[in-house]
């Protein structure tokens, strides 16, 4: 079965600045592909290419086997790619159901009597959230009163309802505590189980390993590794993301520099010496 989304040796340059170079990944239905990397690794640029905000300068970008070059986020949505950004495009004082349908509200009536079908929107919002296992107290409550994790879950359920085939999640657990992160990861897995291909962008290898099927590691805009879950253990994934040999060298230097006989990097005399 062909990948829903496939990037092969994709690169993006801003003048002489290399934002992304030679990055490849595949997104399959019913799987979660995790993209890991520290700040400046190229994760944001990769998101923008998949979401249609930016076009790649080299390499190929395929959607369901067809090479493409997205011109806008709307075009990406029309092709079944929904992106949920970390800051979430919600209106805090509007109720949950209004945010669920924001920009795509169903109406009823004709001509001057045309109006929003609020009852239908409330019913659909409640049903879709329940289908994803999200049991809100009241869909009329302002979305700003929900926790960060609950708002992320509403955004995921919205993408599923509006027919997304690929769901791109930008650091969904970055600003959340342990419990709320667990809630969000549960719904990320629910989206996968609903048949979506999920791209999870994160700098947390523990979160990635809990739900991920494939892992792509980025470093300074390039590929630092690509693994199926069966090929790599959590410890090795963490080590590679942290820098591998660079981390080993740093540990060695810190251990040497912080020994009992060293101050400011210089060996000092002790009573024993």
Query: What's the total number of domains in the chain?
Result: 1
Residue 102 belongs to domain spanning: 5-242
Higher pLDDT, residue 77 or 106: 77
CATH number at 138 reads: 3.40.50.300
Query: Is residue 261 in a domain?
Result: no
Query: Is residue 93 in a domain?
Result: yes
Does the pLDDT at position 54 exceed 70? yes
Query: Is residue 266 in a domain?
Result: no
Query: How many Å apart are CA 188 and CA 152, to the nearest integer?
Result: 10
Band of residue 2 on the pLDDT scale cut at 50, 70, 90: confident
Report pLDDT for 261: 56
Query: Is residue 264 in a domain?
Result: no
Query: Is residue 250 in a domain?
Result: no
Query: Is residue 273 in a domain?
Result: no
Query: Is residue 260 in a domain?
Result: no
Query: Is residue 200 in a domain?
Result: yes
């Amino acid at each position: 079965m062909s990948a829903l989304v496939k990037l092969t040796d994709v690169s993006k340059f801003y003048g002489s600045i290399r934002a992304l170079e030679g990055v490849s990944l595949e997104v399959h239905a019913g799987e979660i592909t995790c993209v890991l990397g520290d700040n400046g690794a190229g994760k944001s640029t990769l998101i923008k290419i998949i979401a249609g905000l930016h076009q790649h300068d080299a390499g190929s970008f395929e959607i369901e086997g067809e090479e493409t070059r997205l011109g806008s986020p709307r075009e990406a949505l029309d092709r079944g790619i929904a992106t949920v950004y970390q800051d979430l495009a919600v209106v805090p004082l509007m109720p949950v159901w209004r945010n669920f349908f924001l920009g795509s509200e169903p109406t009823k009536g004709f001509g001057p009597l045309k109006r929003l079908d609020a009852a239908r929107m409330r019913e659909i919002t409640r049903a879709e959230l329940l289908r994803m296992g999200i049991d809100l107290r009241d869909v009329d409550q302002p979305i700003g009163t929900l926790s960060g994790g609950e708002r992320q879950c509403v955004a995921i359920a919205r993408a599923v309802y509006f027919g997304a085939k690929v769901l791109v999640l930008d650091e969904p657990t970055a600003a959340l505590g342990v419990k709320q992160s667990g809630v969000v990861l549960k719904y990320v897995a629910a989206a996968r189980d609903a048949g979506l291909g999920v791209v999870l962008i994160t700098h947390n290898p523990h979160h990635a390993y809990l739900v991920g099927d494939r892992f792509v590691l980025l470093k300074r805009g390039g590929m630092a590794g690509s693994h199926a879950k069966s090929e790599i253990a959590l410890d090795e994934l963490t080590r590679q993301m942290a820098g591998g040999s660079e981390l080993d060298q740093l540990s060695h230097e810190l251990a040497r520099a912080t020994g009992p006989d060293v101050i400011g990097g210089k060996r000092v005399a002790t009573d024993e010496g």
